[in-house]
Amino acid sequence: MKKKIVAILIAAIVCALPAWALDLKPGLYAITTKAEMQGLGMEMPATTMEQCITEQDPVPQAPEAQGCEIKDMNMSGNTVTYTMVCTQQGMTMESTGKTTYHGDSFDGETMMKMDGASGGMVMNTVIQGRRIGECQ
């Protein structure tokens, strides 16, 4: 019985290790994104938004990202990698991203593939964030 309890505790600790390893100070972050449509050479203007970032929700997302679901998320060291699928207005978009945390700041990138009416476009985005306070 003791061996079973010890095994369960070890498994729980191992599963929790990635969250402990992430160098993330939870709070409200100012996030700046700069996007480019691949193949068109068209850069979008940089945009800034605010988002509460926590260990449980470490993936930066635009407020309009409704209908989106994170399908896969992995943490290794200070980096979170993820796949997110969004379905909006009959169009499916799949993003793969990587965000690396540095205590109270982060940087990352995403690649979004859009199907449907957009004809299979790809958008690359560079993301930078810095903590500006506590979550509201």
pLDDT digits (tens, 9 = 90+) for 91-136: 888 999 999 999 999 999 999 998 765 567 888 999 999 999 999 8
Q: CA-CA distance, 97 to 108, in Å (whole number)?
A: 7
Euclidean distance between CA atoms 41 and 37, whole angstroms? 6
Q: Work out the mean pLDDT of the chain and round it to a whole number.
A: 80
Q: Are 39 and 96 in contact (CB under 8 A)?
A: no
Nearest to 84 by CA among 32, 37, 125, 29: 125
Report angle CA 16, 96, 105 to the nearest 5 degrees. 60
Neighbouring CB atoms inside 10 A of 58's CB total 19
Lowest-confidence pick of 64-68, 85-89, 105-109: 64-68
- Find the Cα–Cα–Cα–Cα dihedral 31, 125, 67, 98, rounded to 10°: -80
CA 105 to chain centre: 14
- CA–CA separation, 27 and 133 (whole Å): 6
Q: What is the pTM for the complete model shown? A: 0.75
Q: What percent of the chain clears pLDDT 90, i.e. is strictly above it?
A: 46
